Structure 1
Amino acid sequence: MDAMTGLASGPVRRNAVDRERVPACDMIRYVADDEGRVVPDLAGKLPGRGVWLAASRDAVVLAVRRNVFARELRRKVVADPELADRVEALLLRRCLQQLSLARRAGQLVAGFDQVAAALSADAAGGRSGGVLVLARDAAADAERLRRAARGRVVLSAFSREDMGRQIGRDALVYASMEGGAIAAKLVAEARKLRGFRDFEMIIPDRRSPGHEGGTTKEGKSRTQ
């Protein structure tokens, strides 16, 4: 996977629902805990036999409906009908945590004027990369920031209240995160979250020589 854009590459896994091979970076592993309950292993560190599913709400719903977890884990398990909602909530929390981490690391700029100035300075210095984070209900003037965010991932997935809580404010609408490990983690988690809720996520297309002008607008993945 590209460290910044999260574009798929690297190892692949078999999606247990439809047997298709999917890049591991676009999948989620599930295991059974000691009481036989199916839980998502979002960090990829839980012990035991695992089940890999595409990172999408449809994949989880079908896996629960078709008893895929019991079949793949080869044991009796309990799969909560609301498992997809739980995964969405956990992914959302993991995404928002990156905003807090970036702030503590001095890698987050908050506020419209501050973000606009940071984007302008990056453009003047020939720098690209990073993430422009906009609240889902950002005002129309956010379009000015989108146009200035050349070479950056544009992410509009969170409420202004959720964003604000990460930096000790009541609300936050505009933020810019420097390129680096924290930004890459946010993009990777957001790509997975995109399979569970609908939001805008625009990724610069860096796979072609003219990537600076191209973008890839992410869509929700579905498993039939």
Structure 2
Amino acid sequence: MTATRAPKTLAAAARERRDIVSGEVMDEDRLIRFVVGPDQTVVPDLARKLPGRGLWVAADRVSVETAAKKGLFSRAAKAKLTPPVGLADQVEELMLRRLMDGLGLAKRAGDLISGFEKVASAVNAGKAAWVIEAADGAADGRRKILNVARRSPKPPQIFGLFAAEELGLALGAENVIHTAFLAGRGADRWTVDVRRLTGFRPLLPESWREEKPSEASGT
């Protein structure tokens, strides 16, 4: 007897959209929403709040570039649209800004802690969903915190794309090198955005990717 798939709930079905490039129906969390701007341009809508019909594209660089080059935005909208030059780069920058803003919100909500000892304690206790390391931090300190992450009962994922100065500005502090995003709903929401970013760039600088714990794939 052939097994049948369980029917989707109404809520799950409502969160699905069709990728205009592949034609695949998938969850919104795996897609980037675009809308038509007032001057018939293509506008990214990462927060999914702008008015107008959404044009959905899989959250990766190749899909966004294909949609722009092959006129798929125009086909989906049934109107002549002009995607801006470098649309995929624009999406990537907007995602990085959104992630940075998310860290600031997490700090104010008490979901973010900084400092080697505090981060190490949270990681050892299995309470950290993410360890966010300054991209330009010293290699010795980074190796130590990643070794702690390797031994954690719940190894956190690792993010290393923001410099110490950027983290300091977002968190209202100085010399921010080691940060932990504590597990919870805030971290879950941040993770969704991080996963979309992985379609555009790795989560770690190439210069220290080999230091990443094997257990924490960074999605």
TM-score of Structure 1 vs Structure 2, range by shorter chain: 0.7 to 0.9
Which structure shows the bigger proportion of residues in strand conformation?
A: 1
Residue matched to 1:153: 157
Normalised to the residue count of structure 1, the TM-score between the two structures is 0.77
- Residue 215 of structure 1, CA deviation: 4.5
Instruction: Read off the aligned partner of 1:135 and give its amino acid letter.
Output: A
* Residues 146 and 154 in structure 1, CA contact (< 8 A), matched pair in contact too: no
Which structure would you say has the larger Rg?
Answer: 2
- Residue 24 of structure 1, CA deviation: 1.9
**Structure 1 residues without counterparts, runs of 5 or longer:** 1-8, 201-213, 220-224
Root-mean-square deviation (Å): 2.4
1:144 aligns with 2:144: no
Per-residue Cα deviation, 1:159-197 (whole angstroms, up to 9, x for no partner): 222222111234422111222232122111111111111
Cα 1:73–1:89 shift into 2, 3 Å: same
- Using CA pairs below 8 Å that are at least 6 residues apart, which structure has the higher relative contact order? 1
Which has the larger displacement, 156-165 or 50-59? 156-165
Which structure shows the bigger proportion of residues in helix conformation?
A: 2
In 2: Cα distance, 1:136 partner to 1:22 partner: 33
1:29 to 30, 33, 50: 33
Per-residue Cα deviation, 1:68-88 (whole angstroms, up to 9, x for no partner): 111101112120121111111
Q: How many residues align?
A: 194
**Structure 2 residues without counterparts, runs of 5 or longer:** 1-11, 205-213
Percent sequence identity over matched residues? 33
Normalised to the residue count of structure 2, the TM-score between the two structures is 0.78
In 2: Cα distance, 1:218 partner to 1:26 partner: 16
In 1: Cα distance, 2:78 partner to 2:216 partner: 39
- Residue 134 of structure 1, CA deviation: 1.8
Q: Counterparts in 2 of 1:7-18, with a 5 A limit?
A: 11-18=15-22
